Structure formats: structure tokens, C-alpha cells
């Protein structure tokens, strides 16, 4: 019965979970995180690239907000759409390798992963990366079986769009090479259709390379700086331990240790294939954590193939399956409804997603007294969040960057050298630097922006009116 109706059962599951998550996003009242607000800002000016990320995240937000407006729900709704589609692709992929029952379990495990539960209520580059990584693995598995032109072309399209989502999509090629070597499928290196897939990927990715070339390769440099880690050559065991411990929260407190056991001793069909597309990503990011820093979610695509692997191993072990699903669902519920943890820890786990709506309203009121002054800030957090919550006319916030540094996107796209004679409202979390005064005819404090979130957390910014900018050459 389940074999025949597994697709319908999955559809009901995805609709139910997505409807619940949509309700959470629509009613939780959480503001956009700084990165989310920055992505929304990018979406107002579509381009082939941005300072720290390729363009798909901005295009995705532009598409969803173009349909339903600029509310937080609409900004984040791309996650609510793409994760169910990723789960459906994973179902089709697993059914190809195993059967419909294992496929249904794989999709159920994936859609309830703690990382997916959290990411489904936010918007980030991981959303599109998950989808295109899953699509690429789907196409690769089908291409291995059929060697059909359309499967290889689909693989190239998925790889190209994945690279336009996040550069770590390139690790897919590393995984494919690992599979070629371990499975001794050297014939794939002589297959012109496989090389066509690489060509399609490069063709789709080329506009972002061109954009980077035009702008001095800021995204490549930013990514390289992150990957470089420590320049001292020291091993960061604390960062490694934090990253490794974080995987229990990404994949599941029970599912992750079970995965480690299966990697070492588990017997599963297609293990070579699935391990080739899981382990390299995890090991690369673990090495990055050891030599520098890596957030727990940076290895997230590991768990596409790993979910299939675990579904195949767990199938018919129903007590273990139940325990895994219950624990992961419980973690997801704590993410959505953290009050018990807040009370236990005497904190607010959502504190970084609160307060900017209040700050934005306060800034708008202050701006009315100085309508000709432009927003000026020394950090991307202020520029991003006020762009969304205060929406200064034309989104004309400017980065205070007299040294022409390249720290974030606003250093790339805003300029001071054409603003001579302009008045500014400087919003800063710090006191006014003495070095800023010679650039202006007069400087005076005009107010403060403040939002108290919790006894241990508040937002506080000073606002200064800077009149008649004298230009970047100080007297």
C-alpha cells in the first residue's frame, strides 16, 4: 500500500509541515537578521554578483517579493518553497537507488532535519545551495544509469546555478572525482557528455566571473579570506570542537552519531556513491574549522547524500527511526517555540531577530527633522537593517569609508567622493570618532536609537548630524 501511494503520502507530509512553518514565519514577529536585510537590499538592484555572495539569493528574494510584497514573510518565503522541492527531488533520487519506501523515509528525514527546520524560517544562501546540490546529485545518479544527453545537461545546469548560489557548490566536482577514483569509473573522464556538463556549468557561471573581474574580484577575495583561516598556522581545536559539536544540531542528536557509525561499519547498497558525495564536503569544512573558523551550517550539503544513506540503513529499524524523527521534530519545535529554553537559560534565543523594526521607526521620525541629510553608517548591520526598516528615500545609505577599504558590500557600491556639501545623519554604536570632525563644517548629536530586547541584550545607537561634508581631503 505504502509502495503504491508513497508519493501521495510525501505530498501530504510536505504540505502539512510547510503550512505549519509558513504559519510560524507569518506569526512569530521576528525581524530580518542582518544578512537577510542585506540580501533584500541586493534584491532591489539585481546584478550578476555582490560583495560576499553570488546572485541567486538576491534573484530569489526579488522573485518572491515581486509576487507578495516586502514583508518579512515574503522575503523568507523562498525557503518555504525550495525545501519541499529539495525533499521531493531527494525522494525521486532515493527511489531510483532503492525503492519508494526508503525514498519516503529519506524525504521525511530530510524535511525534519534540525538544520532544515531552522533554515526553512529564514532566507539564506543555503536554501538555494541545498536545492541545486540535490538537483545535481539527482541528475548525476540518473546520468550514470542512462548516459542520456538531457541528464548530463541537467547536471550542468544544476552545477552552474549552484555556483551562482554559493561557491562551495564547487565541492560537488571534488566529490564526483572521488567517486570516479574509488568506484574505478575512469570511463566517466573519457565521456564527452560528462565534459559537456562541466561546460554548461562554466557557461552559466561565467557572468559572475565577469562581474567579479569588473569589480576587482571582491567575492572571490572574500571567499578566499574565509577559506584561508589562520595566517599563523595554528590549529584551532576549540573551533574544530565547536563545529563538530554543531553537527549534532545540524543533522540530529541521534542521527549524526548513527551516521558516524554507518560511515565506519554500516553495510548499505550504493555506499561508495553516497559517501563520495557526503564525506568530502564534511572533511573539507572540518579542516577549515581546524585551521581557522567554520560555522556549523557550512557543511550542510553533506547531509543530502548522508540522508539517503541513513534512510537506506534505517529502513525497517522502526524504533530507531521513531526516535530519530521524534528528537529532530522536538529540536525543530524548540527552534520555533523557544520559551522553555529561554526560561531555563534566562535569555532570548531570538534576540538577534528583534528590535530593528523599533530602531527603524525611531530613525524615520528623526529623519523627518533633517530631510536633506543622508544616512551614514560605519557598519553593514546599520546600513542593511535601516535600508529595510527605515527605507530612506532611494535606499541612499552611505558607508563611512574615507580610507577606501573593502569590508562589505556598501563599501563597494556607495561613494563619498561625490558627496561634497552633503549633510549626513551618522548612526553608530560608538561615540563619535574624533577623526571624523575635520571632514565636516559642524558636528552635533541629535538623538539616540534604542530597543531593549532582554535584560542581557539591547540595541543602542548614537545619531549625529554632520553638516556640509568638505570632501575626503581634510583641511
List beta partners, residue 464: 426, 445
Find the range with the poorest average confidence among 47-61, 165-179, 212-226. 212-226
Kindly report the average pLDDT of the chain as a whole number. Answer: 93
Q: Is it the case that residue 108 has pLDDT exceeding 60?
A: yes
Supply the pLDDT for residue 392. 79
**CA distance linking residue 423 with residue 434, whole number of Å:** 18
* Mean pLDDT for the stretch of residues 41-61: 96
pLDDT at residue 177 tops 90: yes
pLDDT digits (tens, 9 = 90+) for 323-363: 999 999 999 999 999 999 999 989 999 999 999 999 999 99
Instruction: Tell me what the mean pLDDT of segment 229-255 comes to.
Output: 85
Backbone dihedral region for residue 257 (phi beyond 0: left; psi -120 to 50: alpha; all else: beta):
alpha
Amino acid at each position: 500500500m505504502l509502495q503504491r501511494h508513497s508519493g501521495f503520502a510525501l505530498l501530504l507530509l510536505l504540505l502539512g509541515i510547510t503550512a505549519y512553518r509558513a504559519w510560524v514565519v507569518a506569526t512569530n514577529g521576528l525581524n530580518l537578521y542582518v544578512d537577510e536585510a542585506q540580501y533584500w537590499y541586493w534584491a532591489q538592484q539585481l546584478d550578476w554578483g555582490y560583495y560576499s555572495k553570488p546572485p541567486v539569493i538576491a534573484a530569489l528574494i526579488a522573485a518572491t517579493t515581486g509576487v507578495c510584497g516586502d514583508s518579512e514573510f515574503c522575503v523568507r518565503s523562498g525557503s518555504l518553497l525550495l525545501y519541499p522541492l529539495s525533499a521531493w527531488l531527494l525522494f525521486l533520487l532515493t527511489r531510483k537507488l532503492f525503492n519508494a519506501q526508503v525514498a519516503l523515509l529519506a524525504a521525511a528525514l530530510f524535511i525534519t532535519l534540525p538544520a532544515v527546520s531552522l533554515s526553512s524560517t529564514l532566507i539564506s544562501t543555503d536554501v538555494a545551495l541545498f536545492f541545486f546540490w540535490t538537483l545535481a546529485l539527482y541528475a548525476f545518479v540518473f546520468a550514470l544509469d542512462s548516459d542520456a544527453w538531457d541528464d548530463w545537461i541537467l547536471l550542468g545546469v544544476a552545477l552552474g546555478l549552484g555556483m551562482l548560489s554559493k561557491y562551495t557548490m564547487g565541492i560537488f566536482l571534488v566529490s564526483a572525482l572521488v567517486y570516479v577514483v574509488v568506484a574505478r569509473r575512469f570511463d566517466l573522464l573519457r565521456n564527452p557528455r560528462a565534459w559537456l556538463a562541466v561546460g554548461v556549468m562554466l557557461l552559466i557561471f561565467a557572468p559572475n566571473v565577469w562581474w567579479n573581474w569588473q569589480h576587482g574580484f571582491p567575492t572571490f577575495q572574500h571567499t578566499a579570506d574565509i577559506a584561508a583561516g589562520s595566517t599563523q598556522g595554528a590549529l584551532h581545536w576549540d573551533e574544530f570542537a565547536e563545529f563538530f559539536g554543531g553537527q549534532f544540531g545540524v543533522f540530529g542528536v541521534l542521527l549524526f552519531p548513527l551516521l558516524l557509525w554507518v560511515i565506519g561499519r554500516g553495510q548499505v547498497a550504493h555506499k561508495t556513491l553516497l559517501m563520495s558525495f557526503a564525506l568530502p564536503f564534511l572533511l573539507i569544512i572540518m579542516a577549515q574549522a581546524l585551521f581557522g573558523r567554520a560555522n556549523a551550517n557550512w557543511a550542510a550539503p553533506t547531509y543530502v547524500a548522508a540522508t539517503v544513506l541513513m534512510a537506506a540503513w534505517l529502513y525497517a529499524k522502526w524504533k530507531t527511526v521513531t526516535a530519530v524523527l521524534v528528537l529532530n521534530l522536538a529540536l525543530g519545535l524548540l527552534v520555533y517555540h523557544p520559551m522553555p529554553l529561554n526560561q531555563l537559560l534566562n535569555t532570548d534565543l531570538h534576540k538577534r531577530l528583534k528590535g530593528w523594526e523599533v530602531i527603524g521607526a525611531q530613525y524615520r521620525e528623526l529623519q523627518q527633522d533633517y530631510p536633506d541629510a543622508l544616512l551614514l553608517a560605519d557598519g553593514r548591520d546599520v546600513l542593511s537593517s535601516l535600508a529595510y526598516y527605515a527605507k530612506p528615500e532611494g535606499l541612499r545609505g552611505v558607508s563611512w569609508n574615507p580610507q577606501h577599504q573593502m569590508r562589505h558590500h556598501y563599501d563597494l557600491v556607495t561613494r563619498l567622493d561625490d558627496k561634497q556639501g552633503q549633510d549626513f545623519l551618522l548612526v553608530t554604536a560608538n561615540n563619535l570618532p574624533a577623526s571624523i570632525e575635520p571632514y565636516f563644517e559642524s558636528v552635533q548629536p541629535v538623538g539616540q536609537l534604542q530597543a531593549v530586547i532582554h535584560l542581557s541584550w539591547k540595541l543602542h545607537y548614537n545619531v549625529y548630524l554632520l553638516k556640509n561634508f568638505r570632501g575626503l581631503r581634510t583641511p
